[in-house]
Structure 1
Amino acid sequence: MADDAQHRFDTAERDAVYRAIALRRDTRHFQRGQVVPKAQLQRLLQALHQAPSVGLMQPWRVIRVADAALRERIAALVEAERQATALALGERSAEFLRLKVEGLRDCAELLVLVLPPDDGTVFGRRTLPREMALCSAGAAVQNLWLAARAENLGLGWVSMFEPAALAALLRLPADAQPLGLLCLGPVERFYEAPMLEQQGWRQGRRLSDLLMQDVWSEEEVQDGN
């Protein structure tokens, strides 16, 4: 196979990819009244579209919410779920309600990620049909997230909504399901660490705590062992 230079990354390019991964954040705070230029938005959507998918099924659709009244109605659905989540959290309810969990009213662009009706793809997903569709859609969002970070834009994935209510609001076809509200736009600053860590809600686990060898084990596996 030919060693084509366009397929090789130099050290600086490689480091930039890892830097974008390390600095990616789930963003909740946006600069109000900003816009994402059309050409920039197109680059971001193209990055999403280039994501891998099982059997090349590309199980994602994206709805761009441009209508202000519709955005407000979606925000109301999110607020209803925020309150329901607080109730379900019991003794952590008040602590949860102090967290900012979405930026729907402030972000420059609001995109809805939708899982479309199943197209019957069997390749690679005969035993896990829905799971592989969901994994593929998640990979598309990760592409968008990293591209947004490289463009110095924030992106927040909001999952607090009742799927059936949002589906009805967006007039989705039967068997389609909304998976996320993607808030995108300029930010005043990026979080130094994940927001939930900064706010003391939860701490991320160490990589060594999540690695195992050969079979499942609850014991910690140290890097290099």
Structure 2
Amino acid sequence: MELTRIHRDAFDELLTWRRDVRHFRSDPVPEAVLDRLRVRMELSPSVGNARPWRVIRVDSTEKRAAVIESFELCNRAAADAYDLAERQKYLALKLAGLREAPVHLAVFTDLAVDEGKGLGRQTMPEMLSYSTVMAIHTLWLAARVENIGVGWVSILDPDAVAKALEVPPDWSLTGYLCLGYAETTSDTPLLHETGWQENTATHWQMR
């Protein structure tokens, strides 16, 4: 199929409105929508066709509480790394929607995956994790098409999360995602709106 200007414009709009969501409504996400997200995520590219991502849907109240505890501990430690003025700004930020989001997805990379037979990662083994990141990004865009917001929570202890979710030792946490309907939508990054960090110029270079 040849892409048209309509496709390009739609894709540009999708990228513009893909934001990291931290404020969620409590409305449940229909199972049919989650099924569609899963199918679209499986279309992601991966090194050697290894498809190393492993997704755990975290529904247990107990396990969610363990993740929230990890976030709160790590967030306090992160705040202490700033001087007083920056610490106050940091603590005023909402950096996760863990308590509000109706869907939690822990996305791991299987570092011992047999699929792909090592193709493309002999000199860059991190390509497995990069493949999982690609899958997360695909999921993120697919969610936005469904008007579902995604928040990527990175202020966590990966080992604590892996222990709480009882995953195999070769699984490495790549991303912890909150999904749900956003309270509001905006085409401006939240950290830009709050004055923490505005978008900068392109980082492309020529050599």
Sort the TM-score into its range (normalised by shorter chain).
over 0.9
Q: Does 1:36 align with 2:32?
A: no
TM-score, length basis structure 1: 0.86
Which sections of structure 2, spanning at least 5 residues, go unmatched?
none
Aligned to 1:4: none
Superposition RMSD in Å? 1.3
**Which residue in the other structure is 1:171 paired with?**
166
Cα deviation per residue 1:18-68 (whole Å; 9 max; x = unaligned)? 210111001101012x11111110111111111101111111100001112
Do structure 1's residue 74 and structure 2's residue 67 form an aligned pair? yes
Matched position secondary structure for 2:175:
strand
Offset at residue 122 of structure 1 (A) = 2.3
Which residue in the other structure is 1:10 paired with?
Answer: 4
- What is residue 52 of structure 2 aligned with on the other side? 59
The residue that corresponds to 2:119 in the other structure is 123
Give the conservation status (yes or no) of the 8 Å contact 1:117–1:174: no
- 1:113 is matched with 107
Conserved? CA contact 1:155–1:182, under 8 Å: yes
Distance 1:86 1:94 in 2: 8
The TM-score normalised by the length of structure 2 is 0.93
C-alpha distance in 2 between matches for 1:55 and 1:20? 28
Query: What is the rounded CA distance, in whole Å, between the counterparts of 1:177 and 1:88 in structure 2?
Result: 25
Deviation at 1:10, TM superposition (A): 3.1
Q: Which has the larger radius of gyration?
A: 1
Matching residue within 13, 20, 27 for 1:19: 13
CA distance in structure 1 between the partners assigned to 2:170 and 2:81 by the alignment: 28
Q: Which amino acid aligns with 1:142?
A: H
Aligned to 2:98: 104
Query: Take 2:4 and 2:152, find their aligned partners in 1: how far apart are those partners?
Result: 32
The secondary structure found in structure 1 opposite 2:40 is helix
Structure 1 unaligned runs (5+)? 1-6, 215-225
Mapped partners of 2:124, 2:118: distance in 1 = 9
Q: Which moved more, 1:113-122 or 1:99-108?
A: 113-122
Q: Distance in 1 between matches of 2:53 and 2:8?
A: 28
The CA deviation string for residues 97-132 of structure 1, in whole angstroms up to 9 with x for no partner, is 110000011112100011113225421111111x21
Measured in 2, the distance between the counterparts of 1:90 and 1:128 equals 37
Q: CA separation in 1, counterparts of 2:42 and 2:91?
A: 35
Q: Corresponding residue for 1:137?
A: 132
Q: Segments of 4+ in structure 1 off by > 4 A? A: none
Q: Aligned equivalents of 1:200 and 1:82: distance in 2? A: 19
